[in-house]
Amino acid sequence: MVKVKIFGPLVQLAKGNKEVNVKSNKLREIIEELSAQFGEDFRERILNEKDELQNFIRVFINDKDVRFLGGLSAEVKDGDVVMLLPAIGGG
């Protein structure tokens, strides 16, 4: 089981859920699983027209940015924590 934690305005997309358990073991499949649960709107706003992560979304697996783990191809193991955040610039 993999835990997905959702933050900020993304919570609204996930129909108010801040934490969801998923079964898939690839990030792309996790997004599909969440889209099946929360509807097409979720998928359309997380992924861009090329079916990649949208510019202003950040995804972390165990606190590591998935862009350093192969993006949507990143593998996820039982017990891992996936976080979905809006990209807030800081600086």
Partner 1 sequence: MSYILSLKCRECGREYEPLKLAVCSNCFAPLDVTYDLKNLKLRRESFNDRERNLWRYRELLPLKEDKYIVNLGAGYTPLIKGERIEEKLNFNHIYIKNDSVNPTFSFKDRPAGIAVSKALELGDKVVGCASTGNLAGSVAAHAAKANVPCYVLVPFNIEPAKISQIIAYGARILALKGNYDDANRLAVLAAEELGWNIVNVTSRPYYVEGSKTIAFEVCEQLNWELPDHIIIPVASGALLCSIYRGFKQFMDLDLVKGTMPTLHGAQALGCSPVAQAFKEGRNFIIPIENPNTIATSIAIGDPGDGIYVNRIVRETGGIVEAISDEEIVNSIKLLASTEGIFSEPAGGVVIGTLKKLIEEGKVKKGERVVCCITGNGLKASELISEKRGNWYVIEPNLNSLKNIVLGLGNGKG
Kindly tell me which of 25 and 60 has the beta carbon lying closer to partner 1: 60
We find the least distance from the C-beta atom of residue 80 to partner 1, in angstroms, to be 16
Q: Contact 6/19 with Cβ under 8 angstroms? A: yes
Q: Which amino acid is at 64?
A: K
We find the least distance from the C-beta atom of residue 68 to partner 1, in angstroms, to be 5
Residues at the contact surface with partner 1, assessed by CB under 8 A = 7-10, 12, 45, 54-58, 60, 63, 65, 67-68, 83, 85-91
Reference 21, options 41, 6, 40; nearest CA is 6
Kindly tell me which of 52 and 75 has the beta carbon lying closer to partner 1: 52
Kindly tell me which of 2 and 13 has the beta carbon lying closer to partner 1: 13
Reference 20, options 34, 36, 10; nearest CA is 34
The single-letter DSSP state of residue 25 is S
Kindly tell me which of 24 and 54 has the beta carbon lying closer to partner 1: 54
**How far is residue 61's CA from residue 26's CA, in Å, rounded to a whole number?**
11
We find the least distance from the C-beta atom of residue 34 to partner 1, in angstroms, to be 16
